[in-house]
A = this chain, B = another copy of it.
Amino acid sequence: MGKPTTKDLAKAAGVSLATVDRVLNARAGVRQATVERVQKAIKDIGFVRDIAAANLARGKDYRLVFLLPDHDDEFLDLIQTALHEANDSMAHERTSTSIIRAPANDPHKVAALLDTLSAEQVDGVAVMASETPHVRDAIARLTARGIPVVAFVSNQPSAENAYFVGINNAAAGRTVGQLMARFTGAAQGDVLVITESMQARDSQERRLGFDAIMARYAPRLHVRPTMETYGDPARTAKIIATSLHNQPHVAGVYLMNHNIKKTMQAIGKFGTPEDTVIIGHELTPRTRACLLMGEMDAVITQDVGHLVRSSIRVLKAKITQLGTVASQERIRIEIILRENMPEANG
């Protein structure tokens, strides 16, 4: 005989189907003693609710919202593409995702947007935003309203209950450090570190990890202070120009944020020594091309499709109060060289 059903449960607990239903769906009007009898029976016979059947009966689908920064870069493009793809393939698993966008560095706007989401319209939320007290509180209010939240790409360690879907950025920084240390061989010189802003927690963590490894394995190299572009092309160009001019030998460059288009353009324009090792984050059309042409030596990335699907699975698991397979939800820090680069739409 197959998996136990609600009928088996009712029999095992010595109650009726109606009572089983009341307990399973946390409806009122059941004595505590009875609730416990049923719960014991659940464990005894190993009952697990058939979610497919439950969803069918309920006619419900999962409405998930992804809150993303509202600026444009290739990484966000990838995320949106993956979300649309997921939306298509999950439509028949009763799951629909929608995207809302907020200024990345305006915590008030983010918080305000999150506050507009009610449990009537939304079943779960994935938030990609910088960690600030406002955002943290808005997340807390969401969960208080019964809406599960996951932190997406950017961790929210201060927000309890917000499961983090993304990579360990310190480890990512260490990985880049190790590659930089080894790829530079025995070269002497400077290493430039460039990012959009060190405000972002991600950048700080990556830098720390990077420095730790560089200090240990490549003391021959001098790692310069982080240069911030603030996303400004002119500023980026200027920074790069003066850096490349002043440093007689740039052995390596670490592009720490994921919007490296402008930066690579500037580097291409001003030129670096042939053997300069350039490592950056996120596999996008741009970094893909740079790898192929040998302009970049390695890219550290996370699988965007996996990020999206994992967020969806975790949110659904929270909504249905079911468990997840931990190993499936762990996001890998992927090292991409020209040789192991997956095909374009992967």
Contacts and interface: CB of A to CB of B under 8 A. Distances in A.
Contacts of A52: 52-53, 55-56, 93-94
Interface residues of A, number: 53
Contacts of A2: 61
Contacts of A335: 334-335, 337, 340
A343 interface: yes
Contact of A337 (B50, B85, B175, B325): B175
A339 interface: yes
A249 interface: no
A289 interface: no
A340 B183 contact: no
Contact of A325 (B89, B174, B213): B89
A339 B213 contact: yes
A32 interface: no
Nearest to A338: B178
Interface of A: 2-3, 48-53, 55-56, 61, 82, 85-86, 89, 91-94, 171-172, 174-175, 177-179, 182-183, 185-186, 209, 213, 300, 303, 305, 309, 325-328, 330, 332-335, 337-340, 342-343, 345-346
